[in-house]
Amino acid sequence: MAHVSIIGTGTMGQAIAGVVRQGGSTVELLGSADTDQPVTGDVVVLAVYYGAVPDVIAQRGEQLAGKVVVDITNPIDTATFDALVVPPDGSAAAEIAARLPRSRVVKAFNTTFAATLAAGALGDQPTTVLMAGDDEEAKSALAEIVTGAGLRALDAGSLRRARELEALGLLQITLAAGEKIGWTGGFALVPR
């Protein structure tokens, strides 16, 4: 059983908290008004928009040392909703890892709409949380939390794969924004 801190109490913060609780782990939710409250989890989910991440790191960077830090952001250009704002060979997760060298950063949850985390399934498949990161133990810890809730966790590879996960996140959002799929839908994975 893990103890998970979630920074951000919005749609994704609540959905991920539900997953964590369903898997039998404990969770603390920290909102933007809780900056005096230290993070106590070994796993810390940054459930905020990409633009808010620098603030969170400025407020809590020291507290995140030694912890598994989960980046769920989709770093989308909100002026056009037509591109990512990170460099073509980079990712939000890589930027966060560079700013938090003493943390173990995992990209995850950015390709699963909140409703699919709550539902636990997409079509006839369990909802799949794709993960990318350089620390195997960190990915295993997160996978245990996710699978404990009946969802599927899939290790997509090193932190370099965060770029592809962010591209997939952008594509899924453009499909939903264009009403070609619903916000309750998205990409499912059929393992074999």
Shortest CB 102 distance to ligand NAP, Å: 20
Instruction: Pick the closer one to ligand NAP by CB: 27 or 50.
Output: 50
Q: How far apart are CA 110 and CA 72, in angstroms?
A: 5
Instruction: Pick the closer one to ligand NAP by CB: 129 or 141.
Output: 129
Q: Is the dihedral of CA 159, 163, 164, 165 positive or negative?
A: positive
CB atoms inside a 10 Å sphere around CB 180: 9
Q: Is the dihedral of CA 85, 88, 94, 95 positive or negative?
A: negative
Picking from 146, 115, 121, 151, the residue whose alpha carbon sits closest to that of residue 45 is 146
Shortest CB 82 distance to ligand NAP, Å: 15
Shortest CB 106 distance to ligand NAP, Å: 14
Instruction: Pick the closer one to ligand NAP by CB: 55 or 136.
Output: 55
Picking from 121, 142, 136, the residue whose alpha carbon sits closest to that of residue 46 is 142
Strand segments, DSSP code E, in 8-83 are 26-30, 43-46, 68-71
Q: How far apart are CA 48 and CA 130, in angstroms?
A: 18
Instruction: Pick the closer one to ligand NAP by CB: 46 or 159.
Output: 46
Instruction: Pick the closer one to ligand NAP by CB: 125 or 192.
Output: 125
Instruction: Pick the closer one to ligand NAP by CB: 2 or 53.
Output: 53
Name the residues that contact ligand NAP, by CB under 6 A. Answer: 7-13, 30-32, 47-50, 52, 55-56, 72-74, 109-110, 113-114
Measured from each CB, the residue nearest to ligand NAP is 10
Shortest CB 114 distance to ligand NAP, Å: 4
Distances (CA, A) of 108 to 24, 45, 46, 118: 19, 9, 10, 16
Shortest CB 192 distance to ligand NAP, Å: 26
Shortest CB 140 distance to ligand NAP, Å: 22
